[in-house]
Structure 1
Amino acid sequence: MIERRPGLTLLSHAILISGILIVAFPLYITFVASTVTQNEIMRPPLPLIPGPHLIENYTRALFEGSSKVVPVGLMMFNSLVMALTIAIGKIAISLTSAYAIVYFRFPFRMLCFWTIFITLMLPVEVRILPTFEVVADLGLLNSYGGLTIPLIASATATFLFRQFFMTIPDELLEAARIDGAGPLRFFWDVVLPLSRTNIAALFVILFIYGWNQYLWPLLITTDKEMNTIVMGISHMIGIDDFTDWPAVMATAMLAMLPPVAIVIFMQRLFIKGLVETEK
């Protein structure tokens, strides 16, 4: 029997609402600042009610650039290409490598796995200089290949998929063999559908990881047309000793839209992939 405690319920709701307000208030202030003029932002106190310049500010941010910053629309496209390529590439490589490690018997199989796993100790920041040298020697500076290929390999995703594949009953593999299914058919018809929630959870995490990249794009891109949205926001602040704060705030709001859309669209599968333990 569940006891009803109105006081405890009220307290729980008050704590939840307070937490939501604390998290949402800076976002609301950012939105308000993106709808007013430069003078209204610079003259305290900052307005708490959205202004009438929403369309004007967002249009200027999306379609107008400057001597150092391209239009936000192009930077968002670059970030989208980078995030999607990294997420899809990491998942594809991790799926196939984990599948090979679990279902194929070949010499030094576990050595290969632990070699992949040990790379967790070498994040991009540690190997950034030699990686940059390799990318530069291959002529991949200021290119989508240079932005994405060095970040595609993922030991974490390989480990997670390996652990999940080891929970798939052997009876499924035996049944597939009896039906005449080869390794590729078993992978496509059995393993991939069972991995759907795990793939969705990893896709959300990896997309946001790729979208928020700053150091690597900053290092390998010198052409402003290859700037990502995160780089663009930092470049917009302090250009020629002047910062167009309404455009900066509008850019910040636009930069949040794709990750938020991905999380909302894949929310159900994302939660299942994180909490589901029985397959």
Structure 2
Amino acid sequence: MIENRPFTSFLSHLILILGVIAIALPIWITFVAATHNELRMNQTPLPLWPGTYLWENLQKTLFGKGLSGSETAPVWMMLLNSLAMAMMISVGKIAISLLSAFAIVYFKFPFRMTCFWMIFITLMLPVEVRILPTFEVVANLGLLNSYWGLSIPLIASATATFMFRQVFLTVPDELLESARIDGAGPMRFFWDILLPLSRTNIAALFVILFIFGWNQYLWPLLITTDTSMTTIVMSIKQMLEAAEQSPQWNIIMTTALLAMVPPIFVVISMQKLFVQGLTETDK
């Protein structure tokens, strides 16, 4: 039985409210700044309530107008670049991890567990540690300033492989035997049985990997020299340094607001599957 203590309830609600304020306040400030013009954003005190320039700022930002002195691509193009990069990373990681986990769990071959632990050890080698040799390989393959160069070095995932291996280990052996009796081959078993059982885990992982790919900054900054391949996260920093003038805070904040929309949409649209994929313990 859980006791209902007024002070404990008040304290927990107070902590939750303070947490929500701490998270929501920067987003609110970003939204407010995106609704004012450049002149108002260079005055003090800064506004705390929305203005009337949101639609105008959105038009200027999306189509590159209003970014005077900036060498960045139009924001709509940067959004497409980030979207393509995030989708290729998330889909590629899931596809490779599913197949590698399937091979490790259901196929008997020499040094099977050695291969698994070699994959798992790569968790200690993030992109930041191996960035120079990775850049050399990408450059030698001619993948600079391309979607393949942005995504391929980030596709392999030891975490996703480990996660799907644990999911496949929970599948009863009777399902495998039944599939064999029915004459189903390995890929038929994988496609018709394992994938449907892993649906919620795939959705949860997709949300995490999409946000991971969307927020990439260091790797795109290193391999892109063409402004047409700039990502949205890179552009915010570049806008701050555009030309020898005061930053256009209304445009910068509108860009930041637009950069938050796709990840928020993915999280909200897949929220139910995301929670199920993180909380399910059996199939």
TM-score by length of 2: 0.95
User: Tell me, what secondary structure is at the counterpart of 1:126?
Assistant: coil
Q: Aligned AA for 1:35?
A: T
Match of 1:278 among 270, 273, 282: 282
1:34 maps to what in 2?
34
Matches of 2:16 and 2:237 in 1, distance apart?
Answer: 33
Match of 1:184 among 172, 182, 187: 187
Matches of 2:133 and 2:217 in 1, distance apart?
Answer: 18
Match of 2:122 among 115, 119, 122: 119
Matches of 1:10 and 1:115 in 2, distance apart?
Answer: 49
2:264 maps to what in 1?
260
**Gaps in structure 2 of 5+ consecutive residues:** none
Q: Aligned AA for 1:26?
A: P
Matches of 1:16 and 1:62 in 2, distance apart?
Answer: 35
2:198 maps to what in 1?
195
* Identical aligned residues as a percent: 67
Aligned residues: 279
Quote the offset at 1:255 in angstroms: 0.2
Matched, 1:97 2:100: yes
TM-score by length of 1: 0.96
- Residue by residue, what CA displacement relative to the aligned partner does 1:189-226 show, whole Å, maximum 9, x if unpaired? 11001111111111011000000001110010000000
Matches of 2:42 and 2:216 in 1, distance apart?
Answer: 30
Quote the offset at 1:178 in angstroms: 1.3
1:269 maps to what in 2?
273
1:22 maps to what in 2?
22
Matches within 5 A, 1:43-58: 43-58=43-58
- Residue by residue, what CA displacement relative to the aligned partner does 1:225-246 show, whole Å, maximum 9, x if unpaired? 0000000111100211221110
Match of 1:137 among 135, 140, 148: 140
1:248 maps to what in 2?
252
Matches of 1:157 and 1:170 in 2, distance apart?
Answer: 22
**Gaps in structure 1 of 5+ consecutive residues:** none
Matches of 2:169 and 2:141 in 1, distance apart?
Answer: 38
Quote the offset at 1:89 in angstroms: 0.2
**RMSD of equivalent CA atoms:** 1.3
Quote the offset at 1:44 in angstroms: 1.1
Q: Aligned AA for 1:262?
A: V
Quote the offset at 1:15 in angstroms: 2.5
Matched, 1:212 2:219: no
Quote the offset at 1:252 in angstroms: 0.3
User: Tell me, what secondary structure is at the counterpart of 1:105?
Assistant: coil
